[in-house]
Amino acid sequence: MHCISVTYRKAPVDVREKFAWTNKEIDRFQNEKAIESSENGMVILSTCNRSEVYFSSDIGMDNMISMLKERRGIDDQTFDEYAELYRDEDAARHLFEVTSGMDSMVLGEDEIQRQVKEAYQFAHELGKTGLEINMLFQGALKCSRKIKAGTDIKYLPVSIGTLTANYAAEFAGKLGRKANALVLGASGKIGSVVVKDMIDLGCFNMYCTMRKHHIELNDEEKNTEITEVDYDERYSLLNDADIIISATKSPHCVITRKEMEENIDDHKERLMIDLAVPRDIEKEVAEIEGVNLYDVDFIKTMSEENNRKKAELRRDMEAIVDDVYGEVKEDIGFSELLLEKKELLDADPDLRKKVYKMRADHPLEEIRSLIEVSEFSQRKAGSRTVDSPGYFPFMMDLSGKRVLIVGAGAAAKYKVRSLAEAGADLTVLAPSFCPEVERYADRAALLKKAYKAGEAMGFDIVVAATNDQRVNDRVMYDAKKAGALTCSAVKPSEGDFIFPAVIRRKDYSVAVSTDGRDPHAAKQLKKRIEDNLTDELSDMVEVKQ
């Protein structure tokens, strides 16, 4: 998943307006050919503080940028200056931080969780979200809920609405009386928060325009008088209003300078706060004497002190994001692994059961390892053909060669002795060692531990000699992948070489092999040859030298 983001951090209100989306515009944009054919689709988040497009990486960043510029009428300079681009894991992490309120103007704000949820649900209902986007958005929402429940962020003001109400109360305090407050768009999400918080503060006479007939209030709040005003009558209240707060969803200004001047007969000090994007209040209104007009960016200044108080909580929030995002990454990886290995798992029900059983308490890499080793084992089973000409015998100088033997029991002791005496740079890895292996502690590095996936990497020669075939398979898989020469003590046909029975004299060696078919017979043959060797052969070698 990728993300293109335009937020309050870099872009002022007039720029964010150009990137703002309505649901109708999002619906039309979802029908772009590249988006319709995408595996995972797209979600557009559009709020007063940010416009963000989360989209499947198969659409392509360059392709999405071109479509956005064309659809939104954005020139190259504006886009390059204000848009931030996130790719792959950075985009997913960004979504988690946005949804949890960590990237908000007010750290930990509540409203963004609802906005992300609604943006995701809208795209999902259109059938435009696939596996990855579904899992990431659901995980981000889960993470946000966990942060609210698991940190003290809930005890501090977290919404733009609450900060706006607090600032309005400071202004009202200067008047020495209850302030007359007009709230436009009081039934909207932000407007309703403002109204409820202003009621709690108890220092306002409230006048509200609403799309609905009421705001959902508790019993105490219902006893507080709120005068509902018809939206078309808003200008008639401007003269008496001390505070005017606007948070409608209108696509154009709902208070203009001309209408404002025509409806006030004094220039008393008035506080006007515009929380809408696009803006509700024409910016020229600020030129009227006595008017103090602030837009939503002013909340950024108000929130700085609040954010300082919450800075110490950010560490706790980040830890939860790390935890939940890590879980979601594993879940996505697991789902993709099941799809990738579907044919193998369908053909092997026992392996599928093991995979699902491991999912509860094993990391994804161990599950992938189990599947890969199973594949490897199936490919290698009986790999040496019946009519094979056998192994090619050759003598190798092992001095300086890095050799690993995994296992230190009966199957390994002969290998340890042979390789140690041949001068190999030998490492033996096993949870425990038999006495025959321990006596070579001065000629080999003995590591008392269980084998972990990947530890065979970096060796020239690897020998799998444990009594656990699952471990042997993992060792052989890792060694083959790394390009090492391999030997399997339990399944010789799966390795590159076998250990012959060796007769070693001062000046020569004799190796005997049955190509791994019957090691016992090889030992018997070795004994017969050894019994018939005389000093004459040694004399021949000495004369030749």
Q: Scan for tokens 């951090």, then name that residue.
A: 9
Q: What is the mean pLDDT of residues 85-95?
A: 94
Mean pLDDT score of the chain, rounded to an integer? Answer: 86
Which pLDDT value is given to residue 213? 45
Which pLDDT value is given to residue 214? 47
Q: What pLDDT digit, counting tens, does each position of 224-257 carry?
A: 568 888 888 899 999 999 999 999 988 889 999 9
Least confident of 246-250, 329-333, 426-430, 491-495: 491-495
Burial class (CB in 10 A: 0-12, 13-18, 19+), 33: exposed
| H/E element, 44 | strand 42-46
In the β-sheet with 243-246, what is the strand arrangement from edge to edge? Answer: 226-229, 204-209, 179-184, 243-246, 270-274, 291-295
Q: What pLDDT digit, counting tens, does each position of 50-66 carry?
A: 999 999 988 999 999 99
Q: What is the mean pLDDT of residues 143-166?
A: 80
Which pLDDT value is given to residue 358? 84
Which pLDDT value is given to residue 80? 94
| H/E element, 367 | helix 364-380
DSSP string over 370-419: HHHHHHHHHHHTT-S-TT---PPP-----TT-EEEEE--SHHHHHHHHHH
pLDDT-derived band at 354, boundaries 50, 70, 90: confident
Helix, strand, or coil (residue 42): strand
Q: Which of 544 and 71 is assigned the larger pLDDT?
A: 71
Burial class (CB in 10 A: 0-12, 13-18, 19+), 203: middle
| Encoded amino acid at 441, one letter | A
Q: Is residue 203 a contact partner of residue 172, using CB atoms and an 8 Å limit?
A: yes
**Is the pLDDT reported for residue 542 higher than 50?**
yes
Q: Is residue 445 a contact partner of residue 496, using CB atoms and an 8 Å limit?
A: no
Per DSSP bridges, beta strands 50-55 and 42-46 are: antiparallel
Which pLDDT value is given to residue 378? 67
Which pLDDT value is given to residue 297? 84
**Is the pLDDT reported for residue 134 higher than 90?**
yes
Domains delineated in the chain: 2-150 (3.30.460.30), 160-296 (3.40.50.720), 341-381 (no CATH), 402-499 (3.40.50.720), 502-544 (no CATH)
Could you write out the three-class secondary structure of 193-217?
HHHHHHHHHCCEEEEEECCCCCCCC
Q: What pLDDT digit, counting tens, does each position of 123-133 carry?
A: 999 888 988 99
Which pLDDT value is given to residue 189? 80
**Is the pLDDT reported for residue 163 higher than 80?**
yes
Per DSSP bridges, beta strands 50-55 and 2-7 are: antiparallel
Contacts of 417-420 with CB under 8 Å at 24 or more apart are 418/499, 418/502, 419/444, 419/463, 420/444
DSSP string over 456-520: TTT-SEEEE--S-HHHHHHHHHHHHHHT-EEEESS-GGGSS--PPEEEE-SS-EEEE--TTS-HH
In whole angstroms, what is the distance from residue 250 CA to residue 21 CA? 12
Cα separations (Å) of 130 from 62, 121, 143? 21, 12, 20
Q: What is the mean pLDDT of residues 325-350?
A: 89
Q: Scan for tokens 């040694």, then name that residue.
A: 538
pLDDT-derived band at 433, boundaries 50, 70, 90: very high
pTM score, whole prediction: 0.57
Handedness of CA 73, 77, 80, 82 (dihedral sign): negative
Which pLDDT value is given to residue 223? 45
**Is the pLDDT reported for residue 327 higher than 70?**
yes
Q: What are residue 294's DSSP bridge partners?
A: 273
In percent, the amount of the chain with pLDDT more than 90 equals: 41
Q: What pLDDT digit, counting tens, does each position of 374-411 carry?
A: 777 666 554 555 455 577 888 888 888 999 999 999 88
Which pLDDT value is given to residue 244? 96
**Is the pLDDT reported for residue 173 higher than 80?**
yes
**Residue 135: count of CB within 10 angstroms of its CB:** 18
Q: What pLDDT digit, counting tens, does each position of 437-484 carry?
A: 999 999 999 999 999 888 998 899 999 999 988 888 889 888 888 889
| H/E element, 7 | strand 2-7
